[in-house]
Amino acid sequence: MEGRLHVAHTDGTEGEAGPDDAYVIEPGHDAWVVGDEPVVAFEFESAETYARLDSIPERRARRRPQPHETIWMLTNAVVASSALHAVAELGVADHIDDEPVSIKQLAAACTVDPGALDRVLCLLAANGIFERQDDGYGHTDASRLLHSDHPMSMRAYSRMIGLPVMRASFGRLDHSIRTGSPSIELADDGGLWAYLLQHPEEREIFGQAMTGKAAADTAAVLSAYDFSRFDTIADIGGGRGHLLRAMLDAVPTAEGILFDLPDVIASLEIDRDRLTANAGDFFVDPLPTADAYVLMEVLHDWPDAETAAILSAVRRAASPGARVLIIENVLVDVAADLRGHTLDVIMLAITGGRERTGEQFAKLLEAAGFTESTLIHTSGPLRIVEAVVS
């Protein structure tokens, strides 16, 4: 790439930005970044150089937002998320394959107004979801995940968060802040689980959402931990068994036991060798005997008292030396974790549970009769807390 970009840094030093730096080329602001370094001035060798830099998307203008912009963007984040929920509900992504589709064709397929759909998709495209091409839209890697048939489809998850009961609960987050109780109780006194039992269509969306969300993290979990040491693996609260099936594929010598509520187990077709289903309620019924007990994003649904009861149920069923593996977005005390803290507030409003640190899990595990609590990182957002039955 020809030309030079001369920069003056905020510390008073000057220099040239290298060809691999992230260039900031949008003038008119007082905060800039080149790579990770703040700068206060630019000098382009020529207007041609300026245009050439601007034509490279991955090096397009990048600047630090001003404080008022940070507040504005977060305040209005509900608009983009609402657009995503609506597009997921309409199934727009299902009507786009490898080639872009005109907005008229998309609108006709979804029986919606073409002008309105175009404006909504423009907003999502600005966020990296879909790509505007001529008079239509094509897929990005992110928008492909909204396709119903994608093996890691996130369409159902977006639909779930956009359900009226969810929107209403987040809209009354002030209730949770004041009382410490989930605001979903304003919609249903029995909370989320009672609500889903009474609304089968929404329960189906919830089940699909949990399957799709977990599918994206399964590979990272399997690559971070050696499950081949176990002869029998019990997936407690494992839903449709997506994680357990992947474990059995990875460990052909292991047997798997899927434990979940009777209505969940009754809805499944267990057509897998070495996999058995066990219906029950972990607050009431005894758990199966196994070498390893997996709890993937289960405990964060519950407050500490209920979490302690679940861990105690595992301890009663397990033999000495068995392991419990808690797979969640375990919070790290010293690090800001946007995903983890977002989930934490979702749990506050919807389930009454919470995300926890490794230390908080260690205390709960010790009280339930487990030792040697260890935190294991994966290549994804989830972490594994392993503990041994004493």
Distance CA 306, CA 184 (A): 18
Q: Quick one: 88 and 12 in the same domain?
A: no
- Residue 302 placed within a domain: yes
Where is the domain boundary, 150, 169, 184?
Answer: 150
Total structural domains within the chain? 3
Residue 350 belongs to domain with CATH number? 3.40.50.150
- Radius of gyration of the chain from its Cα atoms, rounded to whole angstroms: 25
Are 256 and 235 in contact, with CB atoms under 8 Å apart? yes
Which residue, of 38, 64, 90, is where some domain finishes?
64
Which residues have a Cβ under 8 Å from the Cβ of 336 and sit 6 or more positions away? Answer: none
Is-contact 212 149, C-beta < 8 A? no
Nearest Cα neighbor of 387 from 236, 368, 378 is 368
Question: Per the domain annotation, does 241 fall within a domain?
Answer: yes
**Looking at the domain assignment, is residue 163 inside a domain?**
no
CATH number of residue 103's parent domain: 1.10.10.10
- 380 and 234 fall within a common domain: yes
Collapse the DSSP code of 283 into the 3-class scheme (helix H, G, I; strand E, B; otherwise coil) and give the result: coil
Instruction: Identify whether residues 307 and 264 lie together within a single domain.
Output: yes
**Tens of pLDDT along 173-232?**
999 999 999 999 998 888 898 898 899 999 999 989 988 887 778 999 999 999 999 999
Whether 16 has a pLDDT exceeding 70, the answer reads no
C-alpha span between 383 and 325 (Å, rounded) = 10
222/333 same-domain check: yes
The answer to whether residue 365 sits within a structural domain is yes
In angstroms, rounded to a whole number, what is the distance separating the alpha carbons of residues 96 and 149?
A: 12
Confidence at residue 188, expressed as pLDDT on a 0 to 100 scale? 83
In a domain, 312, yes or no: yes
Spatial neighbors of 311 by CB under 8 A, at least 6 apart, are: 299, 324, 364, 365, 368, 370
Distance CA 383, CA 360 (A): 14
Instruction: Report whether 123 contacts 83 (CB < 8 A).
Output: yes
Residue 235, domain member (yes or no): yes
- The DSSP result for 118-173, as a single string, is HHHHHHHHHTTSSEEETTEEE--HHHHTTSTTSTT--HHHHHHHTSHHHHHHHHTH
Query: pTM (2 decimals)?
Result: 0.81
The encoded tokens of residue 275 equal 């996999």
Picking from 155, 194, 153, 201, the residue whose alpha carbon sits closest to that of residue 350 is: 194
Whether residues 18 and 87 fall in one domain: no
Residue pLDDT, tens place only, 133-173: 989 999 999 999 999 999 889 999 999 999 999 999 999 99
Among the residue ranges 9-23, 86-100, 120-134, 363-377, the one predicted with the least confidence is 9-23
| 20: Cβ contacts below 8 Å, ≥ 6 apart | none
Q: Are residues 344 and 284 in the same domain?
A: yes
- pLDDT band, very low/low/confident/very high, at 336 (cuts 50, 70, 90): confident
> Letter for the amino acid at 78?
V
Any bridge partners for residue 259, and if so which? 236, 278
Give the span between the Cα atoms of 81 and 103, in whole angstroms.
21
Q: What is the pLDDT of residues 254-285, one digit of tens each?
A: 999 999 999 889 988 887 889 999 999 999 99
Tell whether 236 and 384 lie within a shared domain. Answer: yes
Residues 77 and 59 in one domain: no
Whether residue 209 is contained in a domain is answered as yes
Say if residues 117 and 89 touch (Cβ distance below 8 Å): no
25 and 75 housed in the same domain:
no
Domain assignment of residue 176, yes or no: no
Q: In which domain, by residue range, is 138 found?
A: 71-150
Measured from the Cβ of residue 311, the count of other Cβ atoms closer than 10 Å reads: 25
Beta-sheet pairing, 131-133 with 32-34: unpaired
Task: Choose one of 111, 126, 150: the last residue of a domain.
Answer: 150
Residues annotated as catalytic (active site), given as ranges = 300
Asked if residue 49 has pLDDT above 60, the reply is no
Average pLDDT, the chain: 86
Residue 356 has pLDDT above 60, yes or no: yes
Same-domain check for residues 353 and 243? yes
Contacts of 51 (CB under 8 A, 6+ apart): none
CA-nearest of 345, 329, 99 to 216 is 329
DSSP β-ladder status, 370-377 and 292-296 = unpaired
Q: Which amino acid is at 193?
A: W
Tell me how far apart the alpha carbons of residues 358 and 30 are, in angstroms, rounded to a whole number.
Answer: 41
* Same domain assignment for residues 87 and 220: no
Q: CA distances (Å), 40 to each of 159, 200, 250, 272, in order?
A: 44, 57, 53, 62
Query: Do 57 and 102 share a structural domain?
Result: no
